[in-house]
Chain A
Amino acid sequence: GEDVEQSLFLSVREGDSSVINCTYTDSSSTYLYWYKQEPGAGLQLLTYIFSNMDMKQDQRLTVLLNKKDKHLSLRIADTQTGDSAIYFCAERPPGSARQLTFGSGTQLTVLP
């Protein structure tokens, strides 16, 4: 079955770039997503990428997709304290009734 893996923790200094990595196993996934969860809140969609794309940029966010290695990354430029949160990657396989398989989440801590 599908399995999405992420490292659990990442700490960066304010103003530095953050890179959160994710690996997935279902090579037929059509969409890959990044969600942000702040304490006590639900999940907020940050961005998503179609499987036929290699890169997507949206302001401070850059998503890179390496389909050969089944590797997805999220780069946050100029990381701010407000970026401290848990970040989840998720894959959506085709024909899955839009079911998402989530990684365990990466807790990003931004240090002043």
Chain B
Amino acid sequence: NAGVTQTPKFRVLKTGQSMTLLCAQDMNHEYMYWYRQDPGMGLRLIHYSVGEGTTAKGEVPDGYNVSRLKKQNFLLGLESAAPSQTSVYFCASWSPTEAFFGQGTRLTVV
């Protein structure tokens, strides 16, 4: 039981490049979330999904897209990376009472 796994763990992008972050969970959870963490700002919700085939916007969705084609996977895409998207990205999935977090992806956009 791996829990929540994020890939990659680190990435450096040039401005304008695109990439996809993958979140995989093996707990059969319906609810999955993408957050970004910036210094002194806690975690802010980017997008979330309440089930396979569904997605919804969170607090800071601009510049990101998501897809939930399979229940166990939640993908976060950056179509044209900007330096303001330099951050640590966390994925989470929910049991009925508890959120389980991945280890994070540290993304730097230069």
In contact, A97 and B102 (Cβ under 8 angstroms): no
In contact, B42 and A104 (Cβ under 8 angstroms): yes
Distance of A104 Cα from B99 Cα, bound (Å)? 18
Q: Does B74 contact A (CB under 8 A)?
A: no
Distance of A43 Cα from B50 Cα, bound (Å)? 21
Interface size class of B (residues with CB under 8 A): 20 to 34
Render B49-72 as a binary contact track against A, CB cut-off 8 A, 1 for contact.
010000010100000000000000
In contact, B48 and A8 (Cβ under 8 angstroms): no
In contact, A98 and B94 (Cβ under 8 angstroms): yes
Chain A nearest CB, measured from B47 CB (Å): 11
Which residue on A lies nearest to B104, using beta carbons? A42
Render A30-54 as a binary contact track against B, CB cut-off 8 A, 1 for contact.
0101010000111111001000000
Distance of A68 Cα from B2 Cα, bound (Å)? 40
In contact, A100 and B56 (Cβ under 8 angstroms): no
Interface size class of A (residues with CB under 8 A): 20 to 34
In contact, A99 and B98 (Cβ under 8 angstroms): no
A102: B residues at CB distance < 8 A: 35, 42-44
Which residue on A lies nearest to B93, using beta carbons? A98
Could you say which of A42, A44, A99, A103 contacts B45, with CB atoms under 8 Å apart? A99
Chain A nearest CB, measured from B4 CB (Å): 8
Within 8 A of A (CB), among B67-110: 90, 92, 94, 97-104
Chain B nearest CB, measured from A84 CB (Å): 17
B102: A residues at CB distance < 8 A: 42
B103: A residues at CB distance < 8 A: 41-42
A-B contacts, 6 listed (Cβ < 8 Å): A42-B4, A43-B90, A43-B101, A44-B101, A98-B99, A104-B40
